[in-house]
Amino acid sequence: MPANANKKVLITGANGFIGQFLGHYLLENDYHLVHALRSPKSIQQALAAGQLQYIGNIDAHTDWSQALKAVDIVVHLAARVHVMAETAANPLLAFEQTNYHGTINLAKQAISAGVKRFIYLSSIKVNGEQTKEQPFCADDPAVTLDDPYALSKQQAELALLDLQQQGLLEVVIIRPPLVYGAGVKGNFLRLIQLAEKQLPLPLKQIKNQRSLVSVNNLCSLIQCGMEHPKASGQVFLVSDGRDISSSELLAQISQALQCKNRLFYLPRGLLQVLTSAIGKSQEFQRLFDSLQVDIDKNRQLLNWQPQTSMQSALQQTINFYQKEQAE
């Protein structure tokens, strides 16, 4: 009998980009699954075989009792994420309601239900928005955060680690940078669409370095965190093990699409002035600043290495995108 055949895993955010991929990944590795969804209406695509549980909004009052029955491991992916047009009067309170209070409520009910291990998908934003001379490390000292989303994630991390220190729950925290893969949405999808248009863009020779992680490699680390005895009580960063500039990323996307790469050069200072003038300073930061992570801790403590190369994962992402466009 496979080692995982009797292990039951609750995945929150099961219908999201990462949640869907993780469900199929774990099913292939012989886990039993419980998919936690907000409501029947939230099912957008076919989920991996498993039990469905509808839990409503995630906050301090969510009842997880049915979803947690006989569960051994919780993988908590669900969160309130960044929104481009924030409507909440107090964004921090809105983020805290789901990301902090909702997470700790789930963790405490998991303890009562006898759950052994709790995997929490946090964010690299807990470390910061950019790196300069050195990559971020998982055990870097805490920094002062002014981003409501990042702060809510950090608060949840600290509360979970406190439960670990009390001996109540084995906690594993993973902070990914930008995640991409087949079916990706958001900023990465916009990059693909931008490259597909083959427009001349003033983005050549950007000298930054950014860490990315394919959803394949992220799910591999999540599973390692679920099983490895040394993962308990630890924080991990994750990447594909190779950093890339924004210019090179766009060039590789264009190559995978079999489109012409029409990037041209403008000085960074001029582009910064132009993007600021049209209210696109955040987009400038994402394109031009560096954000690198160090994953040596994963290699040394868990003997974990990225399983999929960036080139292979990018091609899988583009193949899926083109297939969807053709349907």
Tell me whether residue 149 is one of the annotated catalytic residues.
yes
- Cα–Cα–Cα angle for 28, 32, 34, rounded to 5 degrees: 115
d(CA 14, CA 19): 4
Q: What is the sign, positive or negative, of the torsion defined by CA atoms of 26, 27, 30, 32? A: positive
Distances (CA, A) of 56 to 59, 61, 78, 242: 9, 10, 12, 39
Q: Which of 149, 180, 265, 321 is catalytic?
A: 149
d(CA 53, CA 293): 35
CB 55, CB 38: distance < 8 Å: yes
Q: What is the DSSP string of 4-62?
A: TTT-EEEEETTTSHHHHHHHHHHHHTT-EEEEEES-GGG--SPPPSSEEEE--S-STT-
Q: What is the sign, positive or negative, of the torsion defined by CA atoms of 35, 37, 40, 41? A: negative
CB 10, CB 75: distance < 8 Å: yes
Distances (CA, A) of 283 to 142, 207, 268, 279: 26, 16, 13, 9
The residues assigned a catalytic role are: 149
